[in-house]
Amino acid sequence: MVLRTPSAAAARRSILQSSLQSSSRCLARRPLSAPTLSALRPLGLPSRLSAQSYRPYATEVKAATSSSPSSAAAAVGGPAQLPKRRFGVLRFLWRLTWISALGSFVYLGYHIYDSKHPPEQLPLDPTKKTLVVLGSGWGSVSLLKKLDTENYNVVVISPRNFFLFTPLLPSCTTGTIEHRSIMEPLRHIIRHKKRAVQYYEAEATKIDAERRVVKMSDSSDVKGNVSETEVPFDYLVIGVGAENATFGIPGVKENACFLKEIQDAQRIRTRVMDCIETATFKDQTDEEKARLLHMVIVGGGPTGIEFAGELHDFFEEDLRKWVPDISEKFRVTLVEALPNVLPMFSKALIEYTEKTFKDENILVRTKTMVKKVTDRNIEVEVTQPDGNKYKETIPYGLLVWATGNAVRGVVRDLMSQLPAQKNSRRGLAVNDYLVVDGTEGIWALGDCSVTKYAPTAQVASQQGNFLARLFNSMAKTQAIEEDLFQLDQMRESAADEAEKAKLAAEIEVKGRSLSRIKQLSPFEYSHQGSLAYIGADRAVADINWFGGVISSATGGELTYLFWRSAYVSMVFSLRNRILVLTDWFKTKAFGRDGEI
């Protein structure tokens, strides 16, 4: 039997320490590493020992700890301790970043693959009702995005085969964004629907509400044997938008550039560069240079304001460097007939916008009404603060008309057919469910309709979503009503009372479901806010939060970042979001292109 005393561990420890001290001079060859020192310090060795003195002891401890760290510490009488892990939070964040990047890459790859490999579609079904949609703007495309086409034979008629993200259209005029980045092909949208959608690149010329047909004409440059035909419909949604209003002012249509379609943006871009190159032509007079380099914008709404801001950025960031000859003569003037610009914004933001324009040397002329337009000048009538008026002639090189909407011919023709529309002037009058007054099965949305809301893209988009829910509910209602009819017939023919009771219970359940589906509220617009870019990396925003409970009015550089993020999130497809972000990066890195 071996007796163990309390001093046995201390004796072994003393023997080890004395052995280290006696052999340190002959065994030491090089200092121990820092990790080895860190492992030895918790064992209680004297601090006066040199680094070389630890080596024999470290060899023994290392052999012991390799098999069992806790037993090695116990062998020398010390507690079991593990070295502390350093930078744990940083390692976790680094791994989280890599996992997030990998997940984003997988998500992006899946969506790209899904967009390029659409599934097989159901063919057109003769038993389904035909829904004809006119136009490819905000309202019509929002409807197509949310519509369950499995329940209808959908036909789309529009002269343009793409959706245009109009809020970024002013950026295309100066090359900040390329035009294809805000154009989403219509066939990409309809190809991903459950049932095939028929599209015709044509312009609707007449709507016959009595015969329930739409006449359309081929709008392409290449004409075939058939250039005009008819399309019958059971349901019709009119979303053709509006055309530019000239208010009957002479010379506007012939001389001004509009800003509503992608061709307008391209035309403005060409005109800006033509004016600059012509102004630098040899032997050009100073007076003619001043005229050519004067850019006039009529309209103080968001479109006119944003174009003025984009034009200012183009000049300050690019043209001034590449064409220094024009730096003293390039001018931008904004003309507005109302007392101030951006009438839909708060007073504080209006004042901030006007002050920013003043700092950017953009001249804002309010209470100035255009009376006549020629190819070189505009004649205006200015109202002074005292109420007196005087006329003035303003020369220009570029004139952009960014104000007002007018009714399209096909809408005006339909209004003339309907007695209920005789008092309507700005478009088709509709009820709370967007049904055209005086018709059945015909709806209108967007700029071609007249509601209590402003004709904006935000309103049209919400109207399209509302109609999609309405048509989906109508299809569900019809399906349930057919089931109820069949169940009622089965109950009448059933001989067993238990079977009748079972069918009656099922009829009751479907009846409650039908009542819930039919309880679709009328259209109600929810205003999310208004945004406008004002140049120099600044923007203004009137935002409503939580359904209008909280509102905020902000302006400046942080609002500009919010403006960009909001517009990117509103772009319909992932493809266009990537293209817009890429264009912004290219513009920041390399500047805007100066060529036409």
- The Cα 203–Cα 231 span in angstroms is 12
Query: What's phi and psi for 183, nearest 5 deg?
Result: -110, 120
Select, from the ranges 37-46, 51-60, 446-455, 514-523, the one with the highest average predicted confidence (pLDDT).
446-455
pLDDT over threshold 80, residue 565: yes
Q: Report the DSSP beta bridge partners of residue 331.
A: 294
Encode pLDDT of 393-421 as tens digits: 999 999 999 998 999 999 999 999 999 99
Distance between first and last Cα of the chain: 104
- The Cα 513–Cα 47 span in angstroms is 83
Confidence band, pLDDT 50/70/90 cuts, at residue 484? confident
Encode pLDDT of 457-478 as tens digits: 999 999 999 999 999 999 888 8
Query: According to the model, what pLDDT value does residue 49 have?
Result: 45
Per-residue pLDDT averaged across 585-589, rounded? 93
Encode pLDDT of 241-260 as tens digits: 999 999 999 999 999 999 99
DSSP 544-578: EETTTTEEEEEEEHHHHHHHHHHHHHHSSSHHHHH
Confidence band, pLDDT 50/70/90 cuts, at residue 545? confident
Inter-helix orientation angle 302-314/262-279, to 10°: 40
Per-residue pLDDT averaged across 273-286, rounded? 94
Query: According to the model, what pLDDT value does residue 551 have?
Result: 81
Query: According to the model, what pLDDT value does residue 595 have?
Result: 59
Encode pLDDT of 62-105 as tens digits: 444 444 444 444 444 455 555 555 667 888 888 889 999 999 88
* 238, 207 contact by CB (below 8 A): yes
Per the prediction, the chain carries an average pLDDT of 85
Query: According to the model, what pLDDT value does residue 53 have?
Result: 47
Question: Count of CB atoms within 10 A of residue 151's CB?
Answer: 20
**And the tokens for 374?**
């020629």
Query: According to the model, what pLDDT value does residue 29 have?
Result: 46
The DSSP element (H or E) to which 132 belongs, if any, is: strand 129-134
Query: According to the model, what pLDDT value does residue 2 have?
Result: 44
Burial annotation 295-306 (CB, 10 A radius, 16+ → b, else e): bbbbbbbbbbbb
Query: According to the model, what pLDDT value does residue 57 have?
Result: 46
How do strand 257-258 and strand 529-535 relate by DSSP bridges?
A: unpaired
**% of the chain with per-residue pLDDT over 70:** 84
DSSP 229-267: EEEE-SEEEE----EE--TT-TTHHHHPEE-SSHHHHHH
Query: According to the model, what pLDDT value does residue 74 have?
Result: 45
* 168, 182 contact by CB (below 8 A): yes
Query: According to the model, what pLDDT value does residue 90 have?
Result: 83
Nearest CA to 265 out of 197, 167, 331 is that of: 167
Confidence band, pLDDT 50/70/90 cuts, at residue 576? very high
Encode pLDDT of 207-222 as tens digits: 999 999 999 999 888 8
Per-residue pLDDT averaged across 41-65, rounded? 47
Query: According to the model, what pLDDT value does residue 313 have?
Result: 95
- Note the pTM of the prediction, 2 decimals: 0.80
Query: According to the model, what pLDDT value does residue 500 have?
Result: 76
pLDDT over threshold 60, residue 341: yes
Confidence band, pLDDT 50/70/90 cuts, at residue 493? confident
Query: According to the model, what pLDDT value does residue 404 have?
Result: 86
Nearest CA to 142 out of 423, 465, 371 is that of: 465
Burial annotation 12-33 (CB, 10 A radius, 16+ → b, else e): ebeebbeebeeebeeebeeebe
Query: According to the model, what pLDDT value does residue 504 have?
Result: 80
pLDDT over threshold 60, residue 48: no
More confident residue, 385 or 11: 385
Per-residue pLDDT averaged across 507-530, rounded? 81
**And the tokens for 274?**
């033509």
pLDDT over threshold 90, residue 179: yes
User: Count H helices, E strands: the chain?
Assistant: 19, 24
| Sign of torsion over alpha carbons 452, 456, 459, 463 | positive
Query: According to the model, what pLDDT value does residue 83 have?
Result: 52
